[in-house]
Chain A
């Protein structure tokens, strides 16, 4: 034994250290291999698999009458797969032959094709030789597939909008992701960096619904991305189809009308007053979403889209169409009898200032009906003071001014309510002149075309405000419906039936004998109101709101038209409204005409059937509108 005792407890200490380290490692291993193993497993899988995605067809978008507004087109890509690992590389002679055959048939440079294939073969990585091939080119290429192993055509679906700019503000468009989109979508497995996504409108809002599940060729690759083997091919699943409430003819009429207008700027909103569904929704200027179907980086950068949606984001002074609200306020106040007259000689002296009527010659003695029908400003100047500005403001709020319509679209503006209330909030004074301006829709009142359409629809259906909607149903690829729209009542304006009758009567005479004569339709009882919103920056904006009924049936359509700088509602806006209403009521007009000529319908049995079909349809629709009540004249 040694003369100096060794401190063996120190060795024990080192052993304790070793045991402690081992314990820590085991603890850590539990954490990595048992607790987080799923995370690491998926990371390992993502490492080793590479997918050549075949983008699935997006869900199609149809109008109510089954016109396909957004569809998909097959698009073919030619891909070269190098031989699986172990097979010999391409010989030069083979490379030449192959690239020559491809370049001749596709009419592209041989050197380019040769280089792509050579690199792909050398690096063992699959490569896309050509994209977006036509059907004919695809057939030519599939002939080559048999001759040259490794060549393969792959089908993909690309978004296509058959009618171009049609309904573009509602539909939106698809495009490549930008950095912000990628941040949002990168967590979802369904998306890769080059997936196309909805960038605006429906395409964006219903991205999840429209997007199918991409198919693809799954490859196992090594750490340098070299192809090891093909794992499997997965077929895509297409997205769900969306059926809109839009009437394709009415929409076409609205867009055509706006295109023909003076400024080619404006909006048309047509609503079914029975349930709030949108029949037409046009905003000019618009854009062709097909521009993005074939992505080209340069083009994307240069384009500045007219994405401003006039119908929802444009706020304008309502002008004379506001007189509808003022009229309701006057009659509901009980202080004005409809037969009381006001003498208009072209102007009104408010004491501090003289307020003019739009007709400088004056309207003479005007009662309620004349006042509204002829849009006599003096009638409203005088009577608004009787009922008071606050009453008008309250009705403006009841008609949902200053509130978004609640449609399921982004960036909607609420407009502005003008009246003593907001003034008081701003700690400012209200003057008589303000009351006069308010009564004829001038001053600070602002309205969107959407709100104008809601207003006239409420007159048509007796004061009910529905939440506007544009999707009737969503149908899964198998045919199962996963959504069906239900009308939703937001609020109602309580009006005496007498008020409604008087206002409607006056609105009818606007068409029959007043400023709205250009909107007359044979066989339809039309109700409307023109307006011109004063605009300090140029010509006035032209407004027209209208609805029409056929026979005893409730109104099926209410329209608001705004033409920027259109000057006169009567000449610029009214014809557009007429064509839209006509497009919707076409069938009903015909049916009614046949009904009124019994001699014809008796002889032919076919129109009978048609009529009965029409009746069925209407009974169905009235079911849908069960929530609303109708007051028929």
Chain B
């Protein structure tokens, strides 16, 4: 279909993808070992990392050798296992940093939420494949989210919000590439945007109290607190949209009634969700949002971490300070330096050169996964690879974005670079599946 891929040889493995994976894994391991030197339990961390690599490689080769279609056949088993796995951690797991998300095993711990993402991708791919004929129907979109709901619910109980935040866009992208109606996706995106924008605006106003001198802004700010004025706001929105509808009718603009109704519904529902988010947001999450919106607002508290990470990256310069020579990370100014903030260490020690290399390898890796999707022998393979591609994209943009100030702090690691056995295993498994799809392609030319 896509003739640009004709240059591919009939190989059993995508060597470029394999190279990217191994290079990133190698770089990551270097940075992890460098970053933890001097930390209290650094021997244990290095040991786990070195143990996780062969296990990850084993998972990769197993997934590559297996026919991926078995995941479609066994989707019920996967889904069931996923729910049991996530449910079990609530009962048998151990609590660390306020979240019950770990199975403690003799040599290492397992974090089921890392595997949940992959599970969701597989189950979702099967679901979309089966419903491909009715993909444009609203029912399909609702069904897709209904499948995610129990998973999200169990994640919420841990709680592990960042896993939800990272999985949700993956599902959206999968719906998109499966061909779901743009209108439905736009409604969902609009709803998400509106429920997100309200808390952001309110936080922004609370950071600049002088803005409340303006009566309109002050009234708007008051919405977050009183249900009464919120009701007035809703009524106003409904009225406004009704008037727009009447105007459209008067000037014979052919927009269906449904669109207006949906727009009103989206705004109103989004608004209420926003209020709910605002009231349910934990203090530290509120702080993260504030710091993202205004990094100077709290240079000693929550803003400190971001600032220190920025200093680490910036001070790396072109070629970096060299392995083990980063003062920001070695002296502990960068928090979570072997997991979520690993890029700060990479930036400090490898410099612009290293960061470009990592970003470039990532882009190439994503490109290869996308190519694998295109040459897949069936829709399921196409959708699975699309999902894996989306997963990498989300991880990549959130983690880089957080470091560079485009996204608020979210506890999301960078696959293949960050320390974390479960994440590594899940990532390697996913890449193995992508290779499996590639090696079983039938669009040889």
Contact = CB atoms under 8 A, between A and B. Distances in A.
A32 B314 contact: yes
Contacts of A26: 356, 359
Contact of B327 (A29, A47, A224): A47
Given A2-B379, A18-B393, A43 B359 contact: no
A222 interface: yes
Interface stretch (A34-42, A137-145, A454-462): A34-42
B352 interface: yes
Contacts of B355: 29, 33
A221 B363 CA distance: 38
A47 to B, nearest CB: 6
B197 interface: no
B312 interface: yes
Interface stretch (A4-12, A373-381, A549-557): A4-12
A4 to B, nearest CB: 5
A372 B356 CA distance: 91
B352 A228 contact: no
Interface in B293-348: 308, 310-318, 327-328, 331-333, 347-348
Contacts of B199: none
Contacts of B2: 8
B352 A220 contact: no
A15 B310 contact: no
A19 interface: yes
B332 A222 contact: yes
A493 B110 CA distance: 96
A29 B177 contact: no
Contact of B315 (A18, A24, A44): A44
A22 B327 contact: no
B177 to A, nearest CB: 5
Contacts of A39: 314
A220 B401 CA distance: 31
Contacts of A2: 132, 378-379
A48 interface: yes
B179 interface: yes
A11 B177 contact: yes
Interface stretch (B8-16, B118-126, B151-159, B382-390): B382-390
Contacts of B314: 32-33, 36-37, 39-41, 43-44
A490 interface: no
Nearest to A34: B352
Contacts of A45: 327
Given A8-B1, A10-B176, A47 B378 contact: no
Contacts of A8: 1-2, 374
Contacts of B311: 40, 43-44, 47
A7 B313 contact: no
User: Chain A interface: which size bin?
Assistant: 35 or more
Contacts of A228: 331
Most A CB within 10 A of own CB, among B318, B362, B379 = B379
Given A6-B382, A28-B404, A223-B333, A19 B356 contact: no
Interface in A41-67: 41, 43-45, 47-48
Contacts of A33: 313-314, 316-318, 347, 351-352, 355
Given A10-B176, A221-B331, A32 B317 contact: no
Interface in B345-396: 347-348, 351-352, 355-356, 359-360, 362-363, 366-367, 370, 373-374, 378-379, 382, 386, 389-390, 393, 396
Contacts of B179: 4, 6-7, 10
Nearest to A11: B177
Nearest to B330: A222
A4 B132 contact: yes
B209 interface: no
Given A2-B379, A4-B133, A41-B317, A29 B390 contact: no
Interface string A202-229: 0000000000000000001111100010
B177 A10 contact: yes
Contact of A14 (B173, B313, B327, B401): B173
B178 interface: yes
B198 interface: no
B313 A40 contact: yes
Interface in B177-193: 177-179
B206 interface: no
Contact of A6 (B133, B327, B379, B405): B379
Contacts of A21: 393, 396-397, 400-401
A498 to B, nearest CB: 72
A274 B357 CA distance: 75
A19 B363 contact: yes
B81 interface: no
Contacts of A43: 311, 314-315
Contacts of A36: 314
A45 B327 CA distance: 8
A358 interface: no
A41 B320 CA distance: 11
A33 B135 CA distance: 46
Nearest to B442: A1
A30 interface: yes
Nearest to B392: A18
Nearest to B133: A4
Interface in B125-158: 132-133, 135
B406 interface: yes
A613 interface: no
A14 B315 contact: no
Nearest to B134: A4
A11 B386 contact: yes
A22 B313 contact: no
A79 to B, nearest CB: 22
A29 B356 contact: yes
A360 B132 CA distance: 124
B352 A18 contact: no
Nearest to A222: B331
A7 B173 CA distance: 13
B404 A25 contact: yes
A21 to B, nearest CB: 5
Nearest to B348: A44
A41 B374 CA distance: 45
A544 B191 CA distance: 89
B315 A223 contact: no
Contacts of B178: 6
A99 B405 CA distance: 50
A25 B315 contact: no
Interface in B31-48: none
A37 B351 CA distance: 10
Most B CB within 10 A of own CB, among A29, A220, A228 = A29
Contacts of A37: 314-318
A32 B404 contact: yes
B34 to A, nearest CB: 16
B309 to A, nearest CB: 11
8 contacts: A2-B378, A14-B173, A21-B393, A22-B362, A25-B359, A25-B397, A29-B313, A33-B317
Interface of A: 2, 4, 6-8, 10-11, 14-15, 17-19, 21-22, 24-26, 28-30, 32-34, 36-37, 39-41, 43-45, 47-48, 220-224, 228
Given A29-B352, A36-B314, 4 more contacts: A21-B393, A24-B406, A37-B316, A220-B331
